Structure 1
C-alpha cells in the first residue's frame, strides 16, 4: 500500500522532511510506526499523536487511509 506521511514541528526536524511517500505492507498504525522508528531512531523518544485522513487515531487502528500525519503536542494558552 502506498502511504503519504506528513511530519510537523519537532517531528519534521527529526526527519528533515515535511512529508514523504512510502510502501507499507503491514496492517496497523503501530506496525507503520515501527517501520518509521527503524528509519528515524530519535522518534522513539518523542511524544506525538497520529492522524489518519485528518482524524486522530490510536496505534491499534487499522491502516485504511493513504495519508498519515505525525503531530507533536499542541501548545495551548
Structure 2
C-alpha cells in the first residue's frame, strides 16, 4: 500500500527530501515507520521526532492506504 511522507525542518535537510511516496506493508504501524525512516536516513534525536498521521499526533495507529505521515522536527520552547 502507498503512503505519503512529508519531512519538515531539519528532517527535510537530513533526508534530502520534503516529500516521498512509499510502498509499505499492510499492518505497519506509524511507530514502525518512524523507526524505519530514522534508520534509513540516520536521523539524530529519534526521541524528539514527532509524527502526525493525517494531521493527528499519534504513533499508535496502523497505517492505511493513502495516509499522510508528517515527520516533525523537535520543537523549541520559549
> Residue 69 of structure 1 aligns to a residue in which SS?
strand
Q: Which runs of 5+ in 1 are unaligned?
A: none
TM-score (norm 2): 0.79
User: Which runs of 4 or more aligned residues in structure 1 lie more than 4 Å from their structure 2 counterparts after TM superposition?
Assistant: none
Q: Residues 56 and 72 (structure 1 numbering): CA distance in 2 closer, same or farther, change over 3 Å?
A: same
Are 1:49 and 2:50 an aligned pair?
Answer: yes
**Larger strand proportion of the pair:** 1
TM-score (norm 1): 0.80
Q: In structure 2, how many angstroms separate the alpha carbons of the residues matched to 1:34 and 1:49? A: 11
Alignment of 1:1-77 (within 5 A): 1-25=1-25, 26-41=27-42, 43-46=43-46, 47-57=48-58, 59-64=59-64, 66-77=67-78
Q: Which runs of 5+ in 2 are unaligned?
A: none
Number of residue equivalences: 75
After TM superposition, give the deviation of residue 50 of structure 1 in Å: 0.3
After TM superposition, give the deviation of residue 76 of structure 1 in Å: 4.4
